[in-house]
Structure formats: structure tokens, C-alpha cells
Structure 1
Amino acid sequence: MTNPDRLHWNRRRGGQTVSSKLWLQKRLATGTLTIRVADVLPLEQAAEAHRRTEAGGLPGRLVLAV
């Protein structure tokens, strides 16, 4: 995950501008940060994961299991 301290952009939420760092911190603290996972692949299939990611169209992230 990107270090929240390095995020500088803002996003509009309900008419208010909210710092992305604060947005992330709130969701991490409340346990409401959700990540969509398209598939979990063994580390040995890292090349396949890379190909699938570059091809696009995934409904979430690919996770490599170590």
C-alpha cells in the first residue's frame, strides 16, 4: 500500500474536500477500508499475474501468496 503520509491530492466527498490521508486514516481506524481482490495466485505464477494486470479488465487486485 502507498504510504498515506505521501498522499497529497484531495477528493470531493459530499460537497466537502477531504484530504486523502485523512480519508485513508479514518477507514483504517474503523476497519472500513475494502480492497477488491480478483484472484490469489502462488508466487510461482508472478509472471502470469503481471500479464493479467497489464491486459487490464480485472475486477480487483491480484494478490501473490508467498
Structure 2
Amino acid sequence: MENPFKKLDLPPKEVPKELKKKVMDDVKAFAFFSEVIGLFSSNYAAAAESFFKKRRPKKDLNQ
């Protein structure tokens, strides 16, 4: 039986340009969607809290 780990040492093969472009486009789309989701999900609690928080009157700010 041949050792499959010996094949890992061989030089990498070139992939087709179409496949490489598709993979890179998918990675870019994933990065974009993860950033957009992060903007809406991580800051949602802070935005809601600041929206509903009562503000102090201006005279209290000067003291």
C-alpha cells in the first residue's frame, strides 16, 4: 500500500483560471457579507440602547 502523505511533498499543480477566479469571487463575497452582518448584529444592542436612553437636561451637563 502506497503512503498518501508522500504526495503532499510534490509541487502544487496549477488550477484553471476560471476556477481560481470563481473561488476568489466567493471569498470576496463571503468577506463582504460577514462585514455587513457584523455591522448590523454587533452594534444593534448599542444602537438600541442609545436610542432609548433618556438624555440629561442641558443644565445638568454644565454642572
Length-normalised TM-score, structure 1: 0.25
Hey, which of these two has a bigger chunk of strand by percent?
Answer: 1
Which structure ranks higher in relative contact order (CA pairs < 8 Å, sequence separation ≥ 6)? 1
Hey, which of these two has a bigger chunk of helix by percent?
Answer: 2
